A and B are shown apart, each in its own frame.
Chain A
Amino acid sequence: MKKLHALLALSVACSVGAASAQQLEGTLKKVADAKAITLGIRESSFPLSYLDASQKPIGYHIDICNAVANAVKAKLKLASLDVKTQAVTSQNRIPLIVNGTVDLECGSTTNNLDRQKQVAFAPTTFVTNVRMAVKKASGVTDLDQLDGKPLATTTGTTSVQLVRASEKGKNLNFKEVYGKDHADSFLMLETDRAVGFVMDDNLLAGLIANSKAPDAYAIVGPALSVEPIAIMLRKDDPQFKAIVDDTVKGLAKSGELTKLYHKWFESPIPPKGINLKFAMSDELKKLVATPNDNPAESFKK
């Protein structure tokens, strides 16, 4: 690990100075050879990465990734760079980064220690709180009230374990129901198959804003977990990591990141022109001031 850090520091230093003289390796070499970079996108991670009405990927993380792609293009002095996109799911995003199918994953991936064994992360660009959506009419305000009641979450997400852990911790017993994706989980809440839906709060806000009756739902209860969400890239790839880091830090410093946040979280967004009205959290404000790629574990007190 120490060796890696030293290597990283060295390469960052290099990239500032005699970068172009340096031999290209890793992702940068791959991109330079192919004159193409592939972004991994999510189809329904509001508003980080999702598809608009014409099935084109858009979102907060897509904008940031495009900024990275531009930086790569400038660095490699390419006349043109083909920016490809590839839809990924929560199950295949890590393998696809590892095996080279995608170069940057611009979805909604939690940066944690387990994942850092296989991949690397850009500085955190969003912080999500895992909370619960309910129907206002149900009067539920906390997880404790759901003992013996059906509670939805989505398969293949970290929330599955968070729900189980809080069950154990509080000696509660939920009837867990699992949707195969967020749309299905939300549909369970909508059709009263579930009384609550536990998920990242930004995703819940998006689902609620897009639903038939946005006013009928509320996001309630304390956060089950606070998680740094970041753009994901291949591990042990210091040259590329340096460009990604520099770009994100640059965006944070210039205020561009805050502008992008405002554009996607506090303004009307496609396709229906809804406004999530999702103010920037204190955690994220801190991170914009001092960007870093610390994993979720460092957020726990």
Chain B
Amino acid sequence: MLNNLDFSVIPLALPAIGKGLLFSLQLTIVAMIGGVILGTLLALARLSGGKWLAGAAKVYVDLMRSIPLLMMILWFFFLIPLLTGRPVGQENSAMITFTLFQAAFYSEIMRAGIQSIPRGQVNAALAIGMTYWQSMGHVVLPQAFRNMVPVLLTQTFILFQDTSLVYAIGATDMLKAAENAGMLYGRTVEMYLFVSVIYFAICFSLSMFVKYMNKRIAIIR
């Protein structure tokens, strides 16, 4: 069968696959930005010392981290409209799910980042009259964030790969678009091979970039 592979359908399928890729990237970027913000807040909540706040954040993070993303995608898709009484569409549903889900992972990274900053710096900040939140915002977080950039990026590229799971709710990411095209033209194997190459190219470049960042940060230290 491989000797009669026919890649001539790829140009025909390219617009649809491009559109799918755009959605995969959009989903990744939205979930990354939203997830890092929410994740940082969760990390701060866990380190705040407030019993209830820290406890709630811990439960949230642990729960999200022990449920498969595939199940989470299905849950949110069915539950959001049931709870809000308003349909949100599969694309929006995917973005909400990914943001809330990734926040748990980003929060663990940020927590590690915050804890890597010597305690003395917080004390120093408090000593010069900053409030707790000021010391976090001006002293701790900028450094924590910087230290954790490579790890955050690594998590993001896992996130990008995970966007392939949204087919479960009928959102059209790159893989789904390729499958649709494959079905339309009777060329599923060619489409699978083609998008594998695209995924590899994107993820490989990203992982090279992470390596480069790692080196740069190592020099700064």
The answer to whether any beta carbons of A and B sit under 8 Å apart in the complex is: yes
* Interchain CB contact under 8 A, A100 and B85: yes
Contact of B188 among A51, A53, A86, A184 (CB under 8 A): A184
Binding site for A on B (CB under 8 A): 1, 4, 6, 12, 15-16, 19, 74, 77-78, 81-82, 85-90, 168-172, 177, 179-180, 182-189
* Interchain CB contact under 8 A, B1 and A210: no
* Interchain CB contact under 8 A, B170 and A88: yes
Instruction: For the complex, give the distance between the alpha carbons of A219 and B16 in Å.
Output: 31
Most A CB atoms within 10 A — which of B169, B170, B177, B180? Answer: B170
- Closest residue of chain A to B179, judged by CB? A183
**Chain B residues, Cβ within 8 Å of A53:** 12, 15-16, 184
Most A CB atoms within 10 A — which of B77, B85, B184? Answer: B184
* Interchain CB contact under 8 A, B185 and A183: no
Further pairs besides A43-B170, A102-B87, A190-B1: 12, Cβ < 8 Å: A44-B183, A53-B15, A54-B15, A87-B172, A88-B170, A92-B74, A92-B169, A96-B81, A99-B78, A181-B183, A207-B186, A210-B186
* Interchain CB contact under 8 A, B186 and A211: yes
Instruction: For the complex, give the distance between the alpha carbons of A191 and B86 in Å.
Output: 43
Nearest CB in chain A: distance from B160 CB, A: 21
Could you show 24 A-B contacts with beta carbons less than 8 Å apart? Answer: A43-B172, A44-B180, A51-B180, A51-B184, A53-B12, A53-B16, A54-B15, A54-B16, A55-B19, A86-B90, A86-B170, A87-B171, A87-B172, A88-B170, A91-B74, A92-B170, A95-B78, A99-B78, A99-B82, A99-B87, A190-B1, A207-B183, A207-B186, A272-B184
Instruction: For the complex, give the distance between the alpha carbons of A53 and B14 in Å.
Output: 10
Instruction: For the complex, give the distance between the alpha carbons of A43 and B172 in Å.
Output: 10
Instruction: For the complex, give the distance between the alpha carbons of A191 and B6 in Å.
Output: 15
Q: A70 in the interface, Cβ–Cβ < 8 Å?
A: no
Instruction: For the complex, give the distance between the alpha carbons of A86 and B93 in Å.
Output: 12
Question: With A92-B170, A99-B82, A101-B87 in contact, do A272 and B19 touch (Cβ < 8 Å)?
Answer: no
Against B, the Cβ 8 Å flags (1 = close, 0 = not) of A119-157 are 000000000000000000000000000000000000000
Q: A182 in the interface, Cβ–Cβ < 8 Å?
A: yes
**Chain B residues, Cβ within 8 Å of A211:** 186
* Interchain CB contact under 8 A, B189 and A87: no
Binding site for B on A (CB under 8 A): 38, 43-44, 50-51, 53-55, 86-89, 91-92, 95-96, 99-102, 181-184, 186-187, 190-191, 207, 210-212, 271-272
* Interchain CB contact under 8 A, A212 and B186: yes
* Interchain CB contact under 8 A, B188 and A183: yes
**Chain A residues, Cβ within 8 Å of B78:** 92, 95, 99
- Closest residue of chain B to A182, judged by CB? B183
**Chain A residues, Cβ within 8 Å of B88:** 101
* Interchain CB contact under 8 A, B170 and A89: yes
Instruction: For the complex, give the distance between the alpha carbons of A122 and B184 in Å.
Output: 28
**Chain B residues, Cβ within 8 Å of A187:** 188-189
* Interchain CB contact under 8 A, B183 and A87: no
Contact of A210 among B16, B169, B184 (CB under 8 A): B184
Instruction: For the complex, give the distance between the alpha carbons of A51 and B16 in Å.
Output: 11
Of all A-B residue pairs in the complex, the 7 with the closest CB atoms, nearest first, are A101-B87, A183-B183, A87-B170, A99-B81, A211-B186, A210-B186, A89-B170
Question: With A99-B78, A191-B1 in contact, do A210 and B87 touch (Cβ < 8 Å)?
Answer: no
* Interchain CB contact under 8 A, B87 and A272: no
Question: With A54-B15, A191-B1 in contact, do A100 and B87 touch (Cβ < 8 Å)?
Answer: yes
**Chain A residues, Cβ within 8 Å of B86:** 100
Instruction: For the complex, give the distance between the alpha carbons of A187 and B190 in Å.
Output: 12
Instruction: For the complex, give the distance between the alpha carbons of A96 and B88 in Å.
Output: 11
* Interchain CB contact under 8 A, B77 and A92: yes
**Chain A residues, Cβ within 8 Å of B168:** 89, 91
* Interchain CB contact under 8 A, A43 and B1: no
Contact of A100 among B4, B81, B170, B179 (CB under 8 A): B81
Nearest CB in chain B: distance from A62 CB, A: 16
Most A CB atoms within 10 A — which of B90, B171, B189? Answer: B90
- Closest residue of chain B to A51, judged by CB? B180
**Chain B residues, Cβ within 8 Å of A101:** 81, 87-89
Most B CB atoms within 10 A — which of A183, A186, A191, A210? Answer: A183
* Interchain CB contact under 8 A, A271 and B184: yes
**Chain B residues, Cβ within 8 Å of A43:** 170, 172, 180
Instruction: For the complex, give the distance between the alpha carbons of A120 and B221 in Å.
Output: 66
Question: With A86-B90, A92-B170 in contact, do A210 and B15 touch (Cβ < 8 Å)?
Answer: no
